[in-house]
Amino acid sequence: MATTNPGIVVGVSGFVYSLLTDGTDISGGTATYGTVYPITGLKSANYKAAGSLSRFYGDNGVFASSETTGDQSISIDLADLPPQDRARILGHSYANGQIVQASTDVSPYVAVGFKLSLDGANGYVWFTKVKFSKPDQGATTKESSVNYQSQMIEGAVVNLICNSAYRTTIRTDDASAPAATLTGWFTNPVISNNVDTTALTVVITAGAGATKTMLATFSKASASGSIPFTIPTASITAIASALQAAKVSDGSTAGPLSAVILSAGTGFSNSTVTVTITTNVAATAVYNLIAAGSAIKDASGVSVTAYFSGSVTTRT
């Protein structure tokens, strides 16, 4: 008879964060995020729900009870908080290796994720909206034995406006967890369990009217189209960085192509992104595009399973 793994937590690792895009977490909208950044050396991650339970007494007993979620908080203890990450998370100015901290600096909202090591499995976590406060800092002198001094940041956990979510979790030993969701968990913050894991395709054709323009059109196999899908920033960038082109006239290749993303920004829920090729292709020449393949994934971790490598005429 099969036994159920107790899922006892035995460790924590893999801290990541991503900035919440301004103006996207609104009523009726969909929160979107920027690049996911990792920071190594996670020592601990502690969450406090600060919940409370109230009881109403009637008829000589507990007649009803209500519970509330309180001022939620999270503390992250790291071996180091590198300068660029410190500046992003706390809203400081960073340039030329220097951080300038000003009284007007405002910490942005970020999503934070990490992996829990369980007894026989892993648990993946995203807190979808956190604002970190400026941390206390101190140091003590080195004595006869080394006293490691870590970097602690503490933040308030906030509900998303768009769907009231504040934390999303999944376990690798859950039979109902889609493989694509587990694979792509840390490519983009996960804010919903409405996951469309159907096949993802992309067709690249000539863009309309602009110089050396190529248009990538994504589609999902789901017939209804009722579940929006998002292509994360890293995957959009992968189109430009991994794409090559073969010149029809002589078979010579150009690539990786240097390109500029003209649409989509930090991710999109529609279906198209425009890429302008800036180097390595000749004007007015005809090219066959060579697929970037599995480098392109949607936010659910579904890789491109079909790719049209069509002829594209670059424009002057």
Model confidence at 226, pLDDT cuts 50, 70, 90, reads very low
Using CA atoms, how far apart are residues 13 and 17, in angstroms rounded to an integer?
13
- Cis ω before 232 (30° cut-off from 0): no
In the three-class reduction of DSSP (H, G, I as helix; E, B as strand; rest coil), residue 180 is classed as helix
* pLDDT above 80 (res 165): yes
Give the closest residue to 129 by CA, choosing from 165, 96, 154, 153.
Answer: 165
Residue range 241-262, pLDDT digits in tens: 666 677 778 877 766 665 555 5
- The contacts of residue 145 (CB under 8 Å, 6+ apart) are none
From the CA atom positions of the chain, what is the Rg in Å? 24
Do 80 and 153 contact (CB within 8 A), yes or no? no
Residue range 177-190, pLDDT digits in tens: 877 688 888 988 99
Q: What is the overall mean pLDDT for the chain?
A: 78
Do 316 and 211 contact (CB within 8 A), yes or no? yes
Secondary element (H or E) of residue 233: helix 233-242
pLDDT score recorded for residue 223: 44
Cα distances (Å, whole numbers) of residue 154 to 6, 68, 102, 136, 206:
30, 22, 19, 10, 48
CATH no. for 200-313: 2.60.40.1220
Amino acid letter for position 64: A
* pLDDT above 80 (res 101): yes
* pLDDT above 60 (res 267): no
Give the closest residue to 303 by CA, choosing from 173, 199, 221, 212.
Answer: 199
* pLDDT above 50 (res 1): no
Exposure letters 135-172 (e unless 16+ CB within 10 A, then b): beeeeeeeeeeeeeeebebbbebbebebbebbbbebbe
- The contacts of residue 4 (CB under 8 Å, 6+ apart) are none
Q: Return the domain boundaries, the chain.
A: 9-187, 200-313
